[in-house]
Amino acid sequence: MPPLDLVLQLIALGLMTGAGYALLALGLTLVFGIMRLINFAHGEFYMLGAFATQLLCVHMGMSYLVAVPLAALGVGVIGYLISLVVIAPLTRQHETAMLLATLGLAYLLMEGVQILLSGEPRNIPTPFQGSIFFLGPIFFTGQQLLTFGLCLTTSLLAAWYVEFTPGGRLMKAVAQNRIGAAVCGINLKAIYNWTFAIGCVLAALAGATLGANSAIYPSIGQHMVIKVFIVLILGGMGSIPGAIAGGLALGLVEALGGGLLSVEYRDGFGYLLLVLTLLLRPQGFFGAGVK
Amino acid sequence: MGGIRNLAKALAVAVGMSSVALPVWAQESVRIGVTMPLTGNLAFDGQNAVNGMEIAVDAVNDAGGILGRKVELVVLDDKSNPEEGVNAVKRLIADEKVHALATAMTSSVGLAQVDATAGRILHVVVMASAPAITEKGYKNVFRVNTTFASKEQPLLDTIRTRVKSVAMLATNDDYGRGVVDMYKKAWEGDGPKIISEGFVQMNETDLLPYLTRIKFDQPEGLMLSLMSSQLATAMKQAKQIGLNPQVIWTSGGGINPTLLKLGGESVNGLMASDNYVPASTAEANQLFLERLAKRYPDDPAQLYHAVAYDAIMVIAQAMNAAGTADDWQKISEEMHKVSYDSPRGPLTFDEKGQVALEPFLVQVIDGKMVEAK
């Protein structure tokens, strides 16, 4: 039997990492729920968020807490422009056209950063990385608590926005029936651009916080996007509570599996959970039933 | 139309100028095919290696080229993927008609590539350090990096005397598994007890669960055979969570400028072994550093530059001695006779085509890599 303290610590670590996954999955699930688009470039916006934060901190001398929202906003603007130029014009094409466009976009962004800034790994200088807090025998790093808090607030904000604001209702209308919404005079392209930009802001926030736990380099998004695809399928595509639950579940399974059973099969435990979910509840924890 | 005419004029001027600046080369150039990871998480290391080869090409060309012919590189991306690496060398041989190959950052790529080029062309494996690469008996295959077996030796001997129990965390690839296997075999019986071993994916960024597990096991020594970016993270997080074994070391060659920059204070005390210290005052190294600083002022010199540089230098020397750039058998014979003063010290090849260089212990002290005492 592994010591209880170890198990508790691993659970804490899993929940913290899971919150990061959830934050990243939130943007992806929003874009999927409303635009019916699987955004393959989502990981690259995570990477952009991390790099933008790093550049603002190191080259502009900003403090980390100022740089994070600025970077997220900047990536949101980039996302809006990309949607305006690349994604929205494809709305009348078959759905796969948008999907393929995001795949191309992913490589363009990754290679672009590689060429412009080099592939040299770099650190995001965060004041929270060095700090550590204890709850009984269990530790949390400051950076983990920040990510966790940010995940909690942004997911509540996102849920509130979609449910209770006029803009959110427009989004919901498009999600429920895009042709119906268009007939009622809703500007589909405007909603798409807006949604895509919000998705990018959320990805960038995840990159700025989760990315600061380790070194960043242009291909970090590729690894993360696979993880959040798993999160989405676990939680249910397009569901906000699903993204949270899926993220936490994946974080937990990875930490416990990797820490107690086998390091090398850590990713495997995530896939195992994925396969089990697909077998037992294919619509995910919070997904609507299969029509 | 004016635009096109201006462009044509500009091109004519450019061509005119370049023909003044360059010496006239006899015949067609000697082409050396290169594959390195230029995308993915080893892209930075791969680019450093290519830069090292470029300055070697400059050095060779400045000295008259190979047999009076200009040398040039044909560089392809192997993405540190064995399949891509094999496709790349096939393309270099068949389509690009290269005269020799200098390839491979990772052992997985190198192992796959040498099977594909066996008996076809002179093939110098650059970084990939799995011993098996030069153990296959291919007459055309040479390696300018030391094997991890030889590079690990000073560590195997020293750490055995210092601790009784160790934990090991390594990358989940041929290299990481090979290194851990070596320690297990060498220490079997009377050596330190290996109480846990773990293999992490190369792109894994979250190492806290494993480090936490290791902390609970309380080993006296900890080996972290990880990529620079992971190693820097692991060292920081280990300090942070209070994982302080008596000795922390990384596998041979693991201490480099990238790690020192990323890790900062947290990598102080880290041990490794190596056969290249960039600060070496040897004349060959000073010359190499000068060339590097001139062409790539932003690159702090590291092992990748030096080893890749040597690959091109020995190919040039062997081809010049053999009097041919095409007959790999003749060139291979000359490779065995190569005696060359490398930035890493005097360099020769053994009968298997493996470079012979003595490794020594190194350690990070005050943010710098120095020879350990």
Contact B122, B326 (CB under 8 A): no
- What is residue B66's three-state secondary structure? strand
Best CA proximity match to A68, nearest among A162, A11, A150, A13: A150
Query: Which parts of chain B are beta strand (E)?
Result: 30-36, 71-77, 100-103, 122-125, 141-143, 165-171, 193-200, 221-225, 247-249, 271-274, 340-342, 345-349, 355-356, 360-365, 368-371
CA-CA distance, A189 to A167, in Å (whole number)? 14
DSSP bridge pairs for B360: B274
Contacts of A266 in chain B (CB under 8 A): 200-201, 204, 209
Confidence at residue A176, expressed as pLDDT on a 0 to 100 scale = 85
DSSP bridge pairs for B225: B170
Contact B318, B334 (CB under 8 A): yes
- What is residue B81's three-state secondary structure? coil
Residue type, B246: Q
Nearest to A264 among B198, B216, B241 (CB): B198
CA-CA distance, B111 to A136, in Å (whole number)? 50
Best CA proximity match to B155, nearest among B224, B68, B228: B224
Residue type, B125: V
Q: Which two tokens stand for residue B344?
A: 């890493």
Query: For A211, which DSSP code?
Result: G
User: β-strands B355-356, B345-349: how paired?
Assistant: antiparallel
Size of interface A-B (CB pairs under 8 A): 105
Confidence at residue B173, expressed as pLDDT on a 0 to 100 scale = 86
CA-CA distance, A247 to A21, in Å (whole number)? 5
Residue B128 phi, psi (nearest 5): -45, 125
Q: pLDDT of chain B along its 373 residues, tens only? A: 444 555 555 544 444 444 444 556 767 899 999 999 998 878 888 999 999 999 999 999 999 999 999 999 999 999 999 999 999 999 999 999 999 999 999 999 999 999 999 999 999 999 998 889 999 999 999 999 998 888 899 999 999 999 999 999 999 888 899 899 999 999 998 899 999 999 988 878 888 889 999 998 999 999 999 988 899 999 998 988 889 999 999 987 789 888 999 999 999 999 999 888 888 888 999 999 999 999 999 888 888 999 999 999 999 999 999 999 999 999 999 999 999 999 998 999 999 999 988 888 999 999 888 888 7
Whether B239 has its CB under 8 Å from any CB of chain A: the answer is no
- What is residue B365's three-state secondary structure? strand
Contact A246, A285 (CB under 8 A): yes
CA angle at B148 for the pair B335 and B328, rounded to the nearest 5°: 20
CA-CA distance, B27 to B68, in Å (whole number)? 8
Confidence at residue B306, expressed as pLDDT on a 0 to 100 scale = 95
B236 contacts A129? CB cut-off 8 A: yes
pLDDT tens-digit series, residues B269-301 = 999 998 888 888 889 999 999 999 999 998 888
Confidence at residue B2, expressed as pLDDT on a 0 to 100 scale = 45
Minimum CA–CA partner of B265 in chain A:
A130
pLDDT tens-digit series, residues A68-114 = 999 999 999 999 999 999 988 887 788 788 889 999 999 999 999 98
Alpha-carbon A36 to chain mean position: 16
Whether B201 has its CB under 8 Å from any CB of chain A: the answer is yes
Q: Which two tokens stand for residue A24?
A: 């990243």
Residues of chain A with pLDDT under 50: 290-291
Contact A243, A13 (CB under 8 A): no
- What is residue A69's three-state secondary structure? helix
Best CA proximity match to B344, nearest among B144, B174, B153: B144
Query: For B25, which DSSP code?
Result: P
Contacts of A14 in chain B (CB under 8 A): 209
Question: Residue B155: how many CA atoms within 13 Å on its side-chain side?
Answer: 31
Number of residues written out for chain B:
373
Whether A125 has its CB under 8 Å from any CB of chain B: the answer is no
Residue A140: count other Cβ atoms within 10 Å of its Cβ: 18
Contact A261, A214 (CB under 8 A): no
Residue B175: count other Cβ atoms within 10 Å of its Cβ: 23
Whether A1 has its CB under 8 Å from any CB of chain B: the answer is no
Best CA proximity match to B219, nearest among B245, B241, B190, B250: B245
Confidence at residue B22, expressed as pLDDT on a 0 to 100 scale = 53
The continuous run of DSSP H or E covering B135 comes out as helix B132-135
Residue type, A71: A
Confidence at residue A214, expressed as pLDDT on a 0 to 100 scale = 86
Q: Which residue has the tokens 């004016």?
A: B2
Contacts of A133 in chain B (CB under 8 A): none
Residue B206: count other Cβ atoms within 10 Å of its Cβ: 23
Whether A283 has its CB under 8 Å from any CB of chain B: the answer is no
Confidence at residue B16, expressed as pLDDT on a 0 to 100 scale = 46
Whether B226 has its CB under 8 Å from any CB of chain A: the answer is no
Q: Which two tokens stand for residue B114?
A: 């040498």
- What is residue A71's three-state secondary structure? helix
User: β-strands B368-371, B360-365: how paired?
Assistant: antiparallel
Minimum CA–CA partner of B210 in chain A:
A259
Best CA proximity match to B123, nearest among B79, B85, B95: B85
Best CA proximity match to B196, nearest among B225, B161, B231, B223: B223
The answer for residues whose C-beta is within 8 angstroms of residue B255's C-beta and 6 or more apart is B267, B270, B272, B274, B362, B364, B369
What's the farthest any 2 CA atoms get from each other in chain B?
A: 82
* ipTM, 2 dp: 0.83
Whether A277 has its CB under 8 Å from any CB of chain B: the answer is no
